[in-house]
Structure 1
Amino acid sequence: MGSIDNRAHEIELRAAEWVARLDGGPLSPAESACLREWLEEEPEHRAAFEEAAATWRELSLLRRDPGPLRDLVPRTRPASPVRRAVRVGAIVALLVLAGGMARYQFGDPWLLASADHRTAPGELRSVTLPDGSVAELGPASAIAVDFDSAERRVRLLAGEVFFTAAPRAGDETRPFVVEAGVGRTMALGTQFVVEDEGEGADVLAIEHQIEVALDHAGARQDVVLSPGQEVRYRRGLGLGRVRTRDVATATAWRRGMLVFSGSRLGEVVETLNRYRRGRIVILDGGLADRRVSGVFATNDLDDAIETITAELGIGSRSIYPFVTVLY
């Protein structure tokens, strides 16, 4: 039954992607041919496409008449009913586009073309690399493997990965390097975690030591991390300070749990979005800095949302299956 559900999800995701792309403008001849071919492959494809198109049309109507979503606009900024409706309509439109496309990012042909291994939202996968190293991909994650005679390079394209690098021993003399954003992490030992953060990453040493390096302002920055130490780097900001982190808590996702201790709601939402088919979006930017603590099972994140909203005293609305809005 699980494989049937997964297949149905994949069809729904592909249909949603096509509808969103059609709304963005005319397709190229090649794209039109690809869409026709996909629709004709199976009856389920056309049915899913028609359902996605109907949902998109209904959501488009919200731009003119947002209905109960009108109340989601913060009341601290006075505005006329017309301006409020327009603003909510625009927000809804953006949420649908961002939620639909970002949630279905692994239907993105550019990412598919770049990734050698990937996971869907909520999926975990362990991959053995050509040298015997192991990459445990968290949900909504993707990597590209680029081994050559000089080094064993892996590019983290999205998500979070737990690496167990095969040691440099015997005939294996090449360094094991993970590239993420503007930085590189080299294994001096065996185990470490790299989490993508757009134009940067969070890197955590698990076993032995790792070296994190990047070029910043024309100079090289680097740091060696010991087990339990973590560093964050960003384009334009360079290396952050080294922090200590509990390894068991940080890697609880491998055991089907998510642990937050005084984490920003914005960061919590980013994590939850990798484990769910729909997107969670914070409507009021001020809520993103609220602090959240809790332990949640990754197979029951609807309960996590209910718990978080109840503890913070905030509201939520869902546009199934695309977006859950926190306000």
Structure 2
Amino acid sequence: MPILDHMAHRRAALHKEAQHWLLRLTSGAATAQDARAFEHWCGQSAAHVEAFAETRRLWENLGPATQAWLASERTRSAVEAQRAAGRPRMSRRAFLGAAVAASAALVVVHPPLQLWPSLSDMAADYRTATGEQREVDLGQGIVVQMNTQTTMNLRKSNGQVTGIDLLSGEIQIKATAPDTRPMSVFAGGGRIDVSTMGKCNVRCDDAGVQVTGLDGTTTLRYQGQTAVLKTAQRAEFGNGSVGQVMPADLEVTMAWRRRVLIFDGQSLADVVREINRYRPGKIILANDDLAARKVQARFSLNQLADVAALIQDAYGAKVTSLPGGIVILS
């Protein structure tokens, strides 16, 4: 094989491997063993690192292609309608074009490392980016504070807001006027009713829905089960059940409003998982012993760019920085 052909073949092979790694690391099921294997893969040569960086940039550039994908979806629907009507089948070129559109669809619906908003995020009434916080005054005496990576839709009737669909993320909702009628938040298949002049914090993530009463009365309704929260009480629901009502540490719950994260005895794995909500890219723990370490710490959100160095100083972790804001701690 000629040298140039060999180099091109090798480059293509590296990019295919890089795509494999990007998919695995962003699947949500990556393990510490995966992280160590990825670190080993990147350490083989500068070409490996560059291939991963180029792959990440390619995926990132697909973000603005959303509209093009939507147009291709409309074309696909038209083609399917033609086929159903007995018209000629799609040509090979059109088929290949549809395959490219399908690939774009995958990264639009499930963007790697949350490099850009997903299709559902972009369609939401309100959303915040990584690290962004926002206040939304809905009128009618209802004010919502949105934390990082949060998306929500509004339910309306006759021009009036009747409820909030929290699709993902975290909000604090407050009824600020004495004549405000109770407001409902719908999340994770359940409903949270906030009393007049009440206030609560609602977080919806893969673990379920966590609700903390901050003032007044908050009522949770989920699959025929009900729980009532008073001030400084919390409960969770999901997977078919409502958890026990427990005391809540309001300083910890309210910390994000002060742009602070407080950890009191959580594992480093949980700490990193939380930090990843606020920080672009991703921190990956590749050491099980390190992941199990208990953490007592308070971080300003302005410190998160340096958090890997802080963990390195505190626990002696080895830090490997990779393109795309990926950091491996081992």
Q: Bin the TM-score by the shorter chain.
A: 0.5 to 0.7
2:232 aligned partner: 228
Distance in 1 (CA, whole Å) between partners of 2:115 and 2:209 is 19
Deviation sequence 1:20-63 (CA, Å, 0-9, x none): xxxxxxxxxxxxxxxxxxxxxxxxxxxxxxxxxx9x94982997
Structure having the larger proportion of residues in helix: 2
Match of 1:60 among 18, 29, 44: 18
One-letter amino acid of the structure 1 residue matched with residue 151 of structure 2: A
How do 1:62-141 residues align onto structure 2 when only pairs under 5 Å count? 101-104=111-114, 106-113=116-123, 115-141=124-150
1:109 positional shift: 1.6
Scaled by the length of structure 2, the TM-score of the pair is 0.63
- Is the CA contact (8 Å cut-off) linking 1:209 and 1:224 kept in structure 2? yes
2:270 aligned partner: 267
1:179 positional shift: 1.2
One-letter amino acid of the structure 2 residue matched with residue 139 of structure 1: T
1:118 and 1:106, CA in 2 relative to 1: closer, same or farther beyond 3 A?
A: farther
Distance in 1 (CA, whole Å) between partners of 2:233 and 2:200 is 10
Distance in 1 (CA, whole Å) between partners of 2:149 and 2:228 is 28
Distance in 2 (CA, whole Å) between partners of 1:167 and 1:262 is 38
Name the % identity. Answer: 27
How do 1:1-327 residues align onto structure 2 when only pairs under 5 Å count? 57=15, 60=18, 101-104=111-114, 106-113=116-123, 115-148=124-157, 152-166=162-176, 169=179, 173=181, 175-188=182-195, 189-198=197-206, 200-215=208-223, 220-236=224-240, 238-284=241-287, 287-327=290-330
One-letter amino acid of the structure 2 residue matched with residue 104 of structure 1: Q
Give secondary structure in 1 for the equivalent of 2:278.
Answer: coil
Deviation sequence 1:192-237 (CA, Å, 0-9, x none): 100112262111110111011201xxxx21111111111122224x
Distance in 2 (CA, whole Å) between partners of 1:286 and 1:325 is 14
- Is the CA contact (8 Å cut-off) linking 2:235 and 2:245 kept in structure 1? yes
1:152 positional shift: 1.9
Distance in 1 (CA, whole Å) between partners of 2:270 and 2:291 is 8
Unaligned runs of 5+ in 1: 1-53, 64-71
Whichever of the two has the greater Rg, that structure is: 2
CA RMSD in angstroms, aligned pairs only: 3.7
Unaligned runs of 5+ in 2: 1-11, 22-30, 60-106
Distance in 2 (CA, whole Å) between partners of 1:61 and 1:198 is 25
1:299 positional shift: 0.9
1:123 positional shift: 0.8
